């Protein structure tokens, strides 16, 4: 009997909604209570120190040691008043998730007395032993030192009893070993490039920030059932499991009422998020059973990324209080929807303008058109890089595999903007007009719809869609740190804007009036980038053919996708904006290939173990029972009657033998494929061997395991089934 499974089911049935009392008062009253935000800085810092920090946030200026000491002392006072005993530099190494090493505030004074101390030196920079973080060969083991350095643009916060200070993480030689360092550089690049372009339209624009509003999808599984699934524990996804007779086909989960147990969990993590200043706003059921989504109000990109990884961590912790395990994996269950992390993205100026919001007059419409077309062109030029940025072992199950979005990057803009770009392409011939009059006329001909927000048609199949006043990059995986996608996107758009300015200035220098020059260039770009625009169904076979005709890449292999980080085009992009050096780029690509290899290696081992010591023995035991009963029948019936009566049983016995023999043979072959792959030195080739030689066995073996699950007596089956995992009451 499958004791563990049935115990887990029984335990899960006892799990009830867990009440969680929110702090007293309105959300706005406790929002950010655990964050050393502007308000608290004003209270705990001298005016001088406060102004320095504000300038560092705004302009990226350095904070000297004296000021850092003041900030540290204010931060410490606030943290201790709020119960903190420890502090940590909190950073995002090239693994998934975050890293922290806690130290207490206590120190000895010269006279031996113990005090709480925290200096500017400790705030600004630390030297964690970094030898166990992935570095892609940048850091030799004999040079294990890495530095974490304070990022003043993301405020410190308290989790539990620890003051957490967001930091970057670099090697002894100054190379980035994290997500944040290149992200900050990419955000700097787009700020500069976009401000320069905004200057054509509005001299008051001195800063442009990139805005990000992510939507985090996830699954919940009862903790007891989760503990009975070694594949979920070790790989984050189910490596086997026959589809539930009912899953998402009735479409009854999407936006339906959230089960009470789940609501209790969501309530608690939302409240904890508010305390940390994370403005979570939306919650709903997703398409698949037990799948949910959480989305905050958008924020400045760097902060939004920090908040996303912080929230993912928080969700895991809070889930435990509610006897849930939260799954951030892109594809925890076969045959039902996977999870993504849509990244809503736009650009906002210091003058309060969203550059992707159409304006009210021709002038601001020209600015809108400028940014729209430049972004489309950037995506066209760097589609392969954007594809690379979202690749991972988990996301490979979504992109170009079983479901949306496809591995072909295209841009959806909706029928109104398509019409508008069509108008833009038309030549306006009017001989006796001044350039200004011409532009004015053209702008009047181009009808920029004023309210796009409510009537941009939604095309849910597009990987990169304009949704009224922002673009939505939908190909990002649910478990990913969104920084990788944001680094690629922001840098690509920065490059495009710089090129745009050059092209426009060239025309201006030739005597073309400014607006006319801008007009001519966006018209030219719009025509050039047209192949990337696609309004149809991205899941269809026709699109694959059409995309090929247009020269758009369909990169389904996750290992190959990473090659596009290392093309001359990508290297030039990242190095010219000083976002990443070639060495950094190569190192992080290596880390991602290595990570792919390790994930598939682990999945393959777990599957091998589980089938050999859970599934095959179970099937054989059930088969023995069938054999015994067949023997019994043979004793009591005549030969002729036996053949009729036992035929079903004999068939089952044969089927079980076929599946188990097949599984055993394939597991052996898979082990050999792994051995061969492990001998390969080259990081990329090894990952490729895992993708093409090892990975296919996972699906192949699983198919037969799932068939066995279907025919073996339910009493014997050792692992919780899909129908048990997926329906929390």
Report the interface residues with ligand ADP, using CB under 6 A. 211-213, 215, 282, 295, 297-298, 344-346, 354, 469-470, 472
**Contact partner at residue 275 from ligand ADP, Mg ion, none, CB < 5 to 8 Å by partner kind:** none
Q: Interface with Mg ion includes 470 (CB under 5 A)?
A: no
CB atoms within 10 A of CB 665: 11
The residue (of 215 and 603) whose beta carbon lies closer to Mg ion is 215
- Provide, rounded to whole angstroms, the least separation between the CB of residue 257 and ligand ADP: 18
Calpha distance 492→369 (Å, rounded): 18
- Provide, rounded to whole angstroms, the least separation between the CB of residue 704 and ligand ADP: 38
Tell me the backbone φ, ψ of residue 345, rounded to 5 degrees.
-140, 140
CB atoms within 10 A of CB 537: 15
The residue (of 343 and 705) whose beta carbon lies closer to ligand ADP is 343
Could you tell me the two tokens for 530? 């047209």
CB atoms within 10 A of CB 291: 24
- Provide, rounded to whole angstroms, the least separation between the CB of residue 465 and ligand ADP: 9
Number of residues that bind Mg ion (CB under 5 A): 2
Helices (H), 16-64: 27-30, 38-44, 47-59
Those residues whose C-beta lies under 8 Å from the C-beta of residue 527, and which sit 6 or more positions away, are 425
- Provide, rounded to whole angstroms, the least separation between the CB of residue 554 and ligand ADP: 25
User: CB burial class (10 A; 0-12, 13-18, 19+) of residue 620?
Assistant: middle
Task: Pick the stretch among 335-343, 411-419, 479-487, 682-690 that binds Mg ion (CB under 5 A).
Answer: 335-343
The number of angstroms, rounded, from the C-alpha of 527 to the middle of its chain's C-alpha atoms is 32
The residue (of 294 and 691) whose beta carbon lies closer to ligand ADP is 294
**Contact partner at residue 286 from ligand ADP, Mg ion, none, CB < 5 to 8 Å by partner kind:** none
Give Cα separations from 498 to 86, 248, 505, 634 (angstroms). 45, 47, 11, 84
The residue (of 18 and 287) whose beta carbon lies closer to ligand ADP is 287
The residue (of 274 and 519) whose beta carbon lies closer to ligand ADP is 274
- Provide, rounded to whole angstroms, the least separation between the CB of residue 51 and ligand ADP: 28
The residue behind tokens 């649910």 is: 478
> Running DSSP on this structure, what letter comes out for residue 22?
P
The number of angstroms, rounded, from the C-alpha of 288 to the middle of its chain's C-alpha atoms is 19
The residue (of 342 and 666) whose beta carbon lies closer to Mg ion is 342
- Provide, rounded to whole angstroms, the least separation between the CB of residue 459 and ligand ADP: 12
Using CB atoms, what's the residue nearest to ligand ADP?
213
Cis amide linkage into residue 405, ω under 30° from 0: yes
Q: DSSP secondary structure string, 407-458?
A: SB--EE-HHHHHHHHHHHHS----TT--HHHHHHHHHHHS---S--TTTSPP
In the set 52, 180, 237, 342, which binds Mg ion (CB under 5 A)?
A: 342
**3-class DSSP state of 284:** strand
Residues in the chain, overall count: 729
**Contact partner at residue 282 from ligand ADP, Mg ion, none, CB < 5 to 8 Å by partner kind:** ligand ADP
Could you tell me the two tokens for 415? 């029928």
> Running DSSP on this structure, what letter comes out for residue 137?
T
The residue (of 342 and 614) whose beta carbon lies closer to Mg ion is 342
**Contact partner at residue 318 from ligand ADP, Mg ion, none, CB < 5 to 8 Å by partner kind:** none
Q: Which of 595, 611, 603, 481 is nearest to 234 (CA)?
A: 603
Calpha distance 212→490 (Å, rounded): 11
- Provide, rounded to whole angstroms, the least separation between the CB of residue 139 and ligand ADP: 35
Strand 411-412 vs strand 464-466: parallel, antiparallel, or unpaired? parallel
* Spatial contact of 518 and 214, defined as CB atoms under 8 Å apart: no
- Provide, rounded to whole angstroms, the least separation between the CB of residue 460 and Mg ion: 8
User: Number of C-alpha atoms within 13 angstroms, CB side, residue 395?
Assistant: 33
- Provide, rounded to whole angstroms, the least separation between the CB of residue 218 and Mg ion: 14
The residue (of 298 and 565) whose beta carbon lies closer to ligand ADP is 298
**Contact partner at residue 213 from Mg ion, ligand ADP, none, CB < 5 to 8 Å by partner kind:** ligand ADP
- Provide, rounded to whole angstroms, the least separation between the CB of residue 345 and ligand ADP: 6
Could you tell me the two tokens for 467? 């949704």
**Contact partner at residue 663 from Mg ion, ligand ADP, none, CB < 5 to 8 Å by partner kind:** none
The residue (of 344 and 570) whose beta carbon lies closer to ligand ADP is 344
**Contact partner at residue 216 from Mg ion, ligand ADP, none, CB < 5 to 8 Å by partner kind:** none
Those residues whose C-beta lies under 8 Å from the C-beta of residue 485, and which sit 6 or more positions away, are 343, 386, 389, 390, 473, 475, 476
The residue (of 215 and 594) whose beta carbon lies closer to Mg ion is 215
Residues in contact with Mg ion, shown as a per-residue x/- string from 191 to 220 under the rule CB under 5 A: ------------------------x-----
- Provide, rounded to whole angstroms, the least separation between the CB of residue 414 and ligand ADP: 14
Calpha distance 325→314 (Å, rounded): 12
The distance between the two most distant Cα atoms of the chain, rounded to a whole number of Å, is 107
**Contact partner at residue 218 from ligand ADP, Mg ion, none, CB < 5 to 8 Å by partner kind:** none
- Provide, rounded to whole angstroms, the least separation between the CB of residue 39 and ligand ADP: 23
Residues in contact with Mg ion, shown as a per-residue x/- string from 343 to 382 under the rule CB under 5 A: ----------------------------------------
The residue (of 215 and 222) whose beta carbon lies closer to Mg ion is 215
The residue (of 345 and 722) whose beta carbon lies closer to ligand ADP is 345
The residue (of 216 and 370) whose beta carbon lies closer to Mg ion is 216
**Contact partner at residue 334 from ligand ADP, Mg ion, none, CB < 5 to 8 Å by partner kind:** none
**Contact partner at residue 557 from ligand ADP, Mg ion, none, CB < 5 to 8 Å by partner kind:** none
Angle (deg, nearest 10), helices 435-445 and 362-381: 80
* Spatial contact of 191 and 681, defined as CB atoms under 8 Å apart: no
- Provide, rounded to whole angstroms, the least separation between the CB of residue 714 and ligand ADP: 38
**Contact partner at residue 106 from ligand ADP, Mg ion, none, CB < 5 to 8 Å by partner kind:** none
- Residue 354: beta bridge partners? 348
Query: Applying CB under 5 A, which residues contact Mg ion?
Result: 215, 342
């Amino acid at each position: 009997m499958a004791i563990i499974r049935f115990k887990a089911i029984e335990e899960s049935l006892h799990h009830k909604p867990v009440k969680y009392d929110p702090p007293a008062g309105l959300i706005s009253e406790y929002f950010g209570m655990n964050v050393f935000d502007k308000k608290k800085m004003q209270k705990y810092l001298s005016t001088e120190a406060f102004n320095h920090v504000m300038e560092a946030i705004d302009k990226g200026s350095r904070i000297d040691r004296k000021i850092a000491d003041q900030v540290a002392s204010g931060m410490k006072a606030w943290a201790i008043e709020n119960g903190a005993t420890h502090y940590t530099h909190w950073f995002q190494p090239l693994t998934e998730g975050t890293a922290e090493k806690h130290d207490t505030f206590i120190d000895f004074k010269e006279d031996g007395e113990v005090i709480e101390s925290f200096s500017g030196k400790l705030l600004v920079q630390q030297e964690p032993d970094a030898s166990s973080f992935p570095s892609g060969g940048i850091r030799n083991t004999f040079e294990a030192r890495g530095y974490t350095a304070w990022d003043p643009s993301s405020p410190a916060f308290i989790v539990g009893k620890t003051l957490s200070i967001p930091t970057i993480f670099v090697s002894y030689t100054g190379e980035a070993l994290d997500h944040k360092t290149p992200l900050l550089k990419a955000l700097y690049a787009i700020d500069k490039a976009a401000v320069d372009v905004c200057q054509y339209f509005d001299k008051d624009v001195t800063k442009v920030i990139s805005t990000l509003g992510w939507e985090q999808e996830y699954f919940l599984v009862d903790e007891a059932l989760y503990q009975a699934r070694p594949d979920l524990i070790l790989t984050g996804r189910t490596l086997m499991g026959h589809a539930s007779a009912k899953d998402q086909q009735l479409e009854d989960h999407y936006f339906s009422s959230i089960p009470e147990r789940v609501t209790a969990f969501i309530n608690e993590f939302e409240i904890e998020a508010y305390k940390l200043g994370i403005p979570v706003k939306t919650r709903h059921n997703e398409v698949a059973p037990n799948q949910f989504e959480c989305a905050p109000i958008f924020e400045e990109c760097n902060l939004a990324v920090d908040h996303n990884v912080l929230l993912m961590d928080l969700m895991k912790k809070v889930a435990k209080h509610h006897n849930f395990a939260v799954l951030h994996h892109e594809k925890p269950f076969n045959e039902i929807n996977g999870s993504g992390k849509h990244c809503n993205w736009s650009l906002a100026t210091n003058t309060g303008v969203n550059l992707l919001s159409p304006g009210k007059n021709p002038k601001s419409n020209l600015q809108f058109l400028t940014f729209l077309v430049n972004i489309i062109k950037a995506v066209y030029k760097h589609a392969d890089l954007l594809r690379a940025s979202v690749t991972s072992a988990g996301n490979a199950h979504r992109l170009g595999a079983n479901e949306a979005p496809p591995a072909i990057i295209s841009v959806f803009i909706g029928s109104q903007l398509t019409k508008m770009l069509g108008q833009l392409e038309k030549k306006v011939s009017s001989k006796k007009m001044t350039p200004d009059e011409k532009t004015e006329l053209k702008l009047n001909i181009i009808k920029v719809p004023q309210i796009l927000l409510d009537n941009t048609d939604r095309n849910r199949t597009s990987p990169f869609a304009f949704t009224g006043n922002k673009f939505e990059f939908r190909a990002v995986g649910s478990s990913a740190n969104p920084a990788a996608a944001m680094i690629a996107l922001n840098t690509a758009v920065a490059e495009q804007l710089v090129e745009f300015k050059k092209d426009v200035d060239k025309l201006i220098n030739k005597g073309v009036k400014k607006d006319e020059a801008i007009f001519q260039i966006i018209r030219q770009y719009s025509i050039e980038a047209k192949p990337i625009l696609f309004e149809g169904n991205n899941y269809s076979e026709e699109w694959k053919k059409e995309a090929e005709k247009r020269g758009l890449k369909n990169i389904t292999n996750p290992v190959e996708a990473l090659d596009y980080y290392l093309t001359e085009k990508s290297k030039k992009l990242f190095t010219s904006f000083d976002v990443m050096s070639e060495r950094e780029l190569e190192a992080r690509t290596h880390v991602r290939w290595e990570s792919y290899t390790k994930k598939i290696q682990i999945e393959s081992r777990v599957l091998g173990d589980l089938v050999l010591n859970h599934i095959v023995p179970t099937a054989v035991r059930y088969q023995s029972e069938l054999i015994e009963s067949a023997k019994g029948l043979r004793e009591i019936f005549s030969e002729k009657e036996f053949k009729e009566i036992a035929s079903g049983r004999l068939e089952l016995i044969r089927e079980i033998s076929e599946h188990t023999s097949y599984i055993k043979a394939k597991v052996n072959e898979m082990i050999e494929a792994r051995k061969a792959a492990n001998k390969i030195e080259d990081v990329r080739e090894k990952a490729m061997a895992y993708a093409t030689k090892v990975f296919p066995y996972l699906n192949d073996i699983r198919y037969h395991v799932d068939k066995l699950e279907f025919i073996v007596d339910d009493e014997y089956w050792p692992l919780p089934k899909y129908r048990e995992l997926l329906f929390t009451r």
